[in-house]
Structure 1
Amino acid sequence: MKTLLWATLSANGNYAQSGPGNPPKPEALADFAAQAAAAGNFIAGRRTFEAMRGNGGAGGPFAALDIVVVSRNAGELPGATVVRSPEEALAYLAERGHETALIGGGAEIHNAFLGAGLADEAVFNVAPVLEGKGLNLLIDTEHYACKQVRLLDCKPLGGGVVQLRYGIERE
């Protein structure tokens, strides 16, 4: 199964933190909705899913999708299937007939998929904002690690948002 890791980053490389003073860029949200519709699914962590659900995100354009939440301790979540690991999430989507899995957020889930060598591509929407505080993608928290990627595509989405798509070699 092909896996796409999708994230919006600030111009200085942190995960873009959205909130009342810094709402998500509509161009990035539209791209996520399009990517999720094309895949027919998305995978998120519990906190990301709950934030989306709080904004009406689990319904609307996502109502017909297979939504998978990876959480070690979450119980049942209406509108989603809860699994305990990235491997279990991919197995569930494969059983449902999906050929592509969209890993939509957040940092812990992205790092879990990268750390397990389960990401084929990374789609980064770079927002025109600099943030002094934020989360990062980490492929190894114990040692300095470098993982080579190859640029597959680069395009503007509008509103100053630029999308970078990278291929990731699985180990």
Structure 2
Amino acid sequence: MKTILWATLTANGNYAQSGPENPPKKEALDDFFTRAKTAGNFIVGRRTFEGMRGNGGPGPFADIDIVVVSSSAGDIPGVQVVRTPEEALDYLKGKGHQTALISGGADIHNSFLGQGLVDELIFNVAPVLEGRGLNLLIDKENYRYKHVQLLDCTPLGGGVVQLRYVLENSSPVHN
């Protein structure tokens, strides 16, 4: 199964934190919706999922398998809740998915990256500088490097630039 980590970063490299003063860019959200529909799924952490849920209802994700990775969440109607990244991937494989879209937040991204479970990275660089922020990490303990190969660089509009990379030891797959 191909795993794609999808994230929005600030222009100064932080993991973008959305909020009332800095809402997500429409162009990046539109890209996410398109990729989630294509994959037929996405994996997300509990806090990010709760933020996405808004007023409830399925919205644009009615026909998409949503997997929430959480060590503390109980059942959440309409989604599969698992405890680990491996369980999330196993669940999606069992449903016949060929691609898993890992969509957020920082803890989930870092968990998948740290365990070597990511094949491709999609970074949407938003035109904003952030004074404080979270980082995407492949290793919290050591200074480790993981080389990537640029597959594509695409302006999405609204000042958002999308960078698509394949991680070393993965096979580049072009859309």
Q: Same fold (TM over 0.5)?
A: yes
Provide the rounded CA distance (Å) in 1 between the counterparts of 2:59 and 2:169: 34
Equivalent residue letter for 1:14: N
Match of 2:48 in 1: 48
Match of 1:73 in 2: 72
| Correspondences of 1:88-127 after superposition (within 5 Å) | 88-127=87-126
| Correspondences of 1:83-162 after superposition (within 5 Å) | 83-162=82-161
Instruction: Give ranges in structure 2 of 5+ residues lacking alignment.
Output: 171-175
Does the aligned pair in 2 maintain the 1:118–1:170 contact within 8 Å? Answer: no
Equivalent residue letter for 1:87: E
Provide the rounded CA distance (Å) in 1 between the counterparts of 2:55 and 2:35: 19
Give the secondary-structure state (helix, strand or coil) at the position aligned to 2:21: coil
Equivalent residue letter for 2:24: P
Give the secondary-structure state (helix, strand or coil) at the position aligned to 1:93: helix
Give the secondary-structure state (helix, strand or coil) at the position aligned to 1:123: strand
The CA RMSD over aligned residues, in Å, is: 1.2
Identity %: 72
Structure 1 runs (4+) greater than 2 angstroms displaced: none
Provide the rounded CA distance (Å) in 1 between the counterparts of 2:104 and 2:163: 17
Provide the rounded CA distance (Å) in 2 between the counterparts of 1:115 and 1:15: 16
Does the aligned pair in 2 maintain the 1:119–1:170 contact within 8 Å? Answer: no
The alpha carbon displacement at 1:55 in A equals 5.2
Equivalent residue letter for 1:34: T
Q: Name the count of aligned residue pairs.
A: 170
* TM-score normalised by structure 1 residue count: 0.96
* TM-score normalised by structure 2 residue count: 0.94
